[in-house]
């Protein structure tokens, strides 16, 4: 569970780093890049230990990546609805359901 917690926290930082500037249209691109890199630093400080802990406790690299992608999508969906004010459409929900199926098969032994 420590791995999941660290991955959730790291993905919050990465989602903000990658997408916060979409609403800041007047900000020069070079400033958005520098600010995003500063935010992403904290994402790396959490992702590296999360992956190392997960890998040393028995998760495969494939499992770590698939879990991270699902966490990324959940965090992004929340961010897109709350911050970007974008609607969730039916095809997004279907896509997300199919990705959850990938998680099921990745952890099936």
- Residue 109 is predicted with a pLDDT of 76
Is a pLDDT exceeding 80 seen at residue 7?
yes
Average pLDDT, the chain: 93
Instruction: Report how far residue 51's alpha carbon sits from residue 67's, in angstroms, rounded to the nearest whole number.
Output: 11
- Residue 105 is predicted with a pLDDT of 86
Instruction: Report how far residue 18's alpha carbon sits from residue 47's, in angstroms, rounded to the nearest whole number.
Output: 15
Q: What six digits make up the tokens of 26?
A: 């007047």
- Residue 1 is predicted with a pLDDT of 86
pTM recorded for the entire structure:
0.83
Count structural domains, the chain: 1
96 burial (CB, 10 Å; 0-12 / 13-18 / 19+) is middle
- Residue 99 is predicted with a pLDDT of 86
Residue range of the domain that includes 91: 2-107
| Alpha helix (H) residue ranges in the chain | 2-19, 29-56, 61-82, 90-107
């Amino acid at each position: 569970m420590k791995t999941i917690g660290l991955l959730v926290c790291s993905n919050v930082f990465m989602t903000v780093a990658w997408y916060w500037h979409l609403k800041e249209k007047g900000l020069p691109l070079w400033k958005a890049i520098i600010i995003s890199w500063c935010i992403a630093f904290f994402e790396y400080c959490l992702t590296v230990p999360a992956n190392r802990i997960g890998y040393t406790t028995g998760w495969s690299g494939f499992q770590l990546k698939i879990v991270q992608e699902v966490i990324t999508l959940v965090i992004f969906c929340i961010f897109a609805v709350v911050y970007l004010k974008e609607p969730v459409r039916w095809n997004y929900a279907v896509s997300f359901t199919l990705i959850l199926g990938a998680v099921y098969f990745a952890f099936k032994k």
